[in-house]
């Protein structure tokens, strides 16, 4: 499933392609949404904004199209009549004279009045957005140690969008690795220096991933590994997807575990379960 950085990059690309342009055609695959096609055709797209792992496409008549990619959804931007071949099912499309924006495979799509967007069930429950540069590590640390969250395992806590918005499976692994926290630990179990490291990583890694096309590893190390012939999957992350390979910090073997129903990767040396 795309995580916050990927969704924001997709929203950026969509905004550049369709914001400020009149929709010459709009398509919805679902019958209950088809009546909105006529309401949106001929209207100007005013903005495309990400909300955690969701995107809202706003139009100048006060409507917004909410979409969540879920596990398989993918956005494609192309020139008119130059749609790439795909076996995916088209779910939502906005056309203008220069670009087509196409959403495939996603099933969580709604049309809302703009003023209702903040109260959408998914958006209303979102915690602070890890890509929001106004959010501070002190706020994240305080939130982690607050009553609703302090006694929950990090493994499940970090996948709860009500805690921090935009974090998914790869970011969970990378944040906990960098903070030297085992996924089974709870905020209440951690030393102050671990909580401080967690709060820093919880903001720094998603923001780095957004700016650097998904790379969460040390940027200098990633550049060196790329230049010396390593594949992207070998240099992109500190730990995620690297089971059986040496830890970049201590040399111990990275291990894959299943916790909270999802795969997670740890360094047993750097992230001991005390």
pLDDT > 90? residue 69: no
22 secondary structure, DSSP code: B
Catalytic residue among 13, 186, 262, 263: 262
Per-residue model confidence as pLDDT tens digits over 249-274: 999 999 999 987 889 999 999 999 87
**Res 1 pLDDT > 80:** no
88 annotated active-site: no
Task: For residue 262, indicate whether it is catalytic.
Answer: yes
Q: What pLDDT is attached to residue 178?
A: 97
Instruction: Name every residue whose Cβ is closer than 8 Å to that of residue 216 and which is 6 or more positions away in sequence.
Output: 170, 171, 174, 205, 208, 209, 236, 237, 238, 240
What are the beta bridge partners of residue 104?
74, 90
pLDDT beyond 80 at 118: yes
Q: Rounded CA gap, 87 and 143, in Å?
A: 43
Residues in contact with 273: Cβ distance below 8 Å, sequence separation at least 6, in sequence order: 182, 184, 185
| Catalytic pick among 8, 53, 143, 180 | 53
Q: Which domains does the chain have, with CATH numbers?
A: 4-124 (3.20.190.10), 137-266 (1.10.8.50)
Which of 2, 128, 183, 206 is labelled catalytic? 2
How large is the average pLDDT for residues 85-89?
94
Q: Which listed residue (3, 6, 110, 174) is catalytic?
A: 3
Name the average pLDDT for the chain: 96
Residue 3: active-site member: yes
């Amino acid at each position: 499933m795309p995580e916050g950085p990927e969704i924001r990059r997709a929203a950026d690309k969509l905004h550049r392609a369709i914001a400020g342009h009149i929709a010459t055609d709009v398509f919805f695959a679902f019958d209950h949404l088809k009546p909105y096609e006529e309401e949106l055709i001929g209207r100007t797209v005013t903005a495309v904004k990400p909300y955690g792992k969701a995107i809202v496409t706003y139009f100048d008549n006060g409507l917004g199209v909410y979409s969540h990619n879920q596990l398989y959804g993918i956005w494609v931007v192309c020139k008119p009549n130059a749609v790439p071949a795909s076996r995916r099912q088209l779910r939502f499309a906005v056309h203008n004279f220069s670009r087509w924006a196409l959403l495939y495979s996603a099933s969580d799509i709604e049309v809302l009045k703009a003023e209702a967007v903040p109260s959408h069930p998914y958006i209303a429950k979102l915690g602070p957005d890890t890509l929001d540069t106004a959010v501070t590590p002190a706020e994240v640390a305080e939130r982690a140690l607050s009553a609703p969250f302090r006694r929950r395992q990090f493994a499940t806590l970090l996948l709860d969008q009500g805690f921090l918005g935009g974090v998914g499976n790869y970011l969970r692994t990378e944040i906990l690795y960098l903070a030297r926290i085992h996924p089974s630990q709870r905020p209440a179990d951690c030393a102050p220096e671990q909580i401080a490291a967690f709060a820093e990583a919880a903001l720094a890694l998603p923001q780095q991933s957004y700016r650097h096309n998904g790379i969460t590893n040390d940027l200098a190390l990633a550049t060196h590994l790329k230049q010396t012939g390593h594949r992207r999957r070998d240099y992109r992350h500190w730990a995620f997807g690297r089971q059986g390979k040496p830890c970049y910090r201590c040399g111990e073997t990275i291990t894959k575990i299943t916790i909270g129903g999802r795969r997670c990767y740890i360094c047993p040396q750097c992230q001991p379960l005390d």
